[in-house]
Amino acid sequence: MDLRFTSEDEAFREEVRAFVRKAVPADMARRTRQGLHTTKEDLKLWNRILYEKGWAAPHWPKEFGGTGWSALQIYLFEEECAAADAPFLSYFGLRLLGPLLYTFGTPEQQEKYIEDILSGETFWCQGFSEPSAGSDLAAVKTTAVRDGDGWVINGQKLWTTEAHYADKMFCLARTDTTVKPQKGGLTIFLFDMNQPGVTVRPILTLDEEHSVNEVFLDNIRVGPEDVLGGEIGQGWTHAKFLLGNERVTNAQVPRSKRDLEILKKIALMERDSDGVPMLQKPDIRQRIAQIEIDLAGLEWSVLRELAQGHGEHSAPIASGLKIVGSEIQQDIATLLVDLLGIKGLAVHTDREQANDLPADAPDYVVGAAARQLFMRAATIYAGTSEIQRGIIAKQAFGL
């Protein structure tokens, strides 16, 4: 046992830091600090910058454009990106579909899609959830019906994040209603968002911002080449693989570490009615300390998991990381708003600062209330906390 980073790890961290700190444009960093949903332009630009450096998807295998770094190095990289206020890259291509494609995709699909995901040329959205299929994903009602050598898709997707940014959707649909969804009844299809029959309706979330959508699919025609992996009926296997990946990234440790750092700076600037910085108040110090300790534990759980090698995550542990990580994100966002006092009640969401900001309000007020509200979703998306607990009970204990 050697519970330290090696000197190579540290040298690696320095190398990454040197690049990243310079590479993030200042205005982009400012917007990231606000904690509002990242704009499409920022996602594209940062993706492009990392792509040119060869670092867009360090977690991918080298032959598909990954970096060949160890899992720990990848973690250090993510930590440095977060520390430099770089946005978290669009999730759906790089984190979800990419791994599906290089694991299960046909050579033609890999050829066609992977490079554009890496470069950020193509944005994807995840068409899984529906009005009657959320936690119970197998209940999707969207159908794909055979038509000649292709299929015709009809249905309605819900909560589709970034559907309004996306060029394409990977869509879970029912291809065979005579068998159980989990036993060959589901298939993932890949298709263009930009075609007649696809209608995207924005849904504002509690933060009054637009990140999720409802997507109506009306007679979308797809060919055999659009079936993920080329074989019908593999949808459940693919979805399970994807959801496993989703949980691990959702611990969000690097981001939370950075957010806590920012929070402490703000706690130093905000004062109570006696003029004492909030950071010096015992109750505030205790709340910050509590979060710091929770986060430290989470970080070491992630490190433990990562140090064990690449790719293979234990499902119950990943679920545990997601539960804790999402609650810490909520705690940080809430404490930040509490530090702001009554200012934390205002809706200030102007990314370019301040058309709606009182002249003497500090710019860190922008986005704070909105983020606190949106973070309620952290225990809902990517599998609710209740569902994660169910996974732990089942997979760790067979219950």
Partner 1 sequence: MDFSLTDEQKLLRETVSRYVASGYDFQAMRGKPVDDPLNVSQWRTFAELGWLALTVPEQDGGLGASLEDVALFFEEIGRGLVCAPLLSTLLSAIIVSKAAESPTRTEALEALMGGEKKIALALEEAGSRHDPAVLTTRAAQNGSAAITLNGRKIVVQDGAGADGFLVSAQMPSKDGKAGVGILLVPANIEGVEIRRYRLIDGRDAADIGFENVKLASESLIVPPAEGLSVLQDTLNRASILLAAEALGAMEAAISITADYLRTRQQFRRPLSDFQVLTHRLSDMFVKAEHARSMVYRGLSAMNGPQEGRDKAVSATMIAIMQAGDFVCGNAVQLHGGVGMADENKIGHFYKRLRTIGKSYGDFNWHMDRYTRQLTA
Positions marked active-site: 246
Burial 67-102 (b: 16+ CB within 10 A, else e): bebbbebbbbbbbbbbbbbbbbbbbbbbbbbbbbbb
d(CA 190, CA 192): 7
Q: Which is nearer to partner 1, 27 or 356 (CB)?
A: 356
Which one of 111, 147, 208, 386 is in contact with ligand FAD (CB under 6 A)?
A: 386
Binding of ligand FAD at residue 161 (CB under 6 A)? yes
Which one of 78, 343, 382, 391 is in contact with partner 1 (CB under 8 A)?
A: 343
Which one of 10, 218, 272, 363 is in contact with partner 1 (CB under 8 A)?
A: 272
Q: Which does 348 bind (CB under 5 to 8 A by kind): partner 1, ligand FAD, none?
A: partner 1
User: Smallest distance from the beta carbon of 352 to partner 1, in angstroms?
Assistant: 16
User: Smallest distance from the beta carbon of 224 to partner 1, in angstroms?
Assistant: 32
Binding of partner 1 at residue 119 (CB under 8 A)? no
Binders of partner 1 in range 54-93 (CB under 8 A)? none
d(CA 295, CA 254): 10
Which one of 32, 109, 126, 187 is in contact with ligand FAD (CB under 6 A)?
A: 126
Residue type present at position 189? F
Where does this chain touch partner 1 (CB under 8 A) — which range of 74-82, 108-116, 219-227, 341-349?
341-349
Which one of 152, 381, 392, 395 is in contact with ligand FAD (CB under 6 A)?
A: 381
Binding of ligand FAD at residue 384 (CB under 6 A)? yes
Q: Which is nearer to partner 1, 121 or 338 (CB)?
A: 338
Which one of 390, 392, 395, 396 is in contact with ligand FAD (CB under 6 A)?
A: 390
Q: CA torsion sign, 333 to 18 to 87 to 356? A: positive
The answer to whether the CB of 372 falls within 8 A of the CB of 205 is no
Binding of ligand FAD at residue 129 (CB under 6 A)? yes
Binding of ligand FAD at residue 256 (CB under 6 A)? no
Where does this chain touch partner 1 (CB under 8 A) — which range of 51-59, 133-141, 168-176, 227-235?
133-141
Q: Which is nearer to partner 1, 67 or 349 (CB)?
A: 349
Size of the site for ligand FAD (CB under 6 A): 18
d(CA 157, CA 126): 9
Q: Which of 249, 262, 248, 250 is nearest to 83 (CA)?
A: 262
- DSSP-based three-state secondary structure for 341: helix
The answer to whether the CB of 374 falls within 8 A of the CB of 209 is yes
DSSP annotation of 353: -
User: Smallest distance from the beta carbon of 399 to partner 1, in angstroms?
Assistant: 13
Q: Angle 71-83/253-269 helices, nearest 10 degrees?
A: 30
Binding of ligand FAD at residue 135 (CB under 6 A)? yes
d(CA 201, CA 182): 29
d(CA 237, CA 108): 20
Binding of ligand FAD at residue 380 (CB under 6 A)? yes
Where does this chain touch partner 1 (CB under 8 A) — which range of 37-45, 66-74, 274-282, 314-322?
274-282
Q: Which two tokens stand for residue 151?
A: 């299929």
Q: Which does 273 bind (CB under 5 to 8 A by kind): ligand FAD, partner 1, none?
A: partner 1
> How many CA within 13 A on the CB side of residue 45?
14
Q: Which of 295, 254, 259, 252 is nearest to 79 (CA)?
A: 254
- DSSP-based three-state secondary structure for 33: helix
Q: Which does 161 bind (CB under 5 to 8 A by kind): ligand FAD, partner 1, none?
A: ligand FAD
Q: CA torsion sign, 118 to 229 to 60 to 54? A: negative
Binding of ligand FAD at residue 159 (CB under 6 A)? yes
Binding of ligand FAD at residue 134 (CB under 6 A)? yes
Binding of partner 1 at residue 268 (CB under 8 A)? no
The DSSP secondary structure of 270-312, one letter per residue, reads -B-TTS-BGGGSHHHHHHHHHHHHHHHHHHHHHHHHHHT-SS-
Residues that bind partner 1 (CB under 8 A): 129, 132, 134-136, 139, 158-159, 203-206, 208, 212, 271-275, 281, 283-284, 338, 341-348, 356, 358-361, 369, 372-374, 376-377, 379-381, 384-386, 389
Residues that bind ligand FAD (CB under 6 A): 126, 128-129, 134-135, 159-161, 205, 212, 377, 380-381, 383-384, 386-387, 390
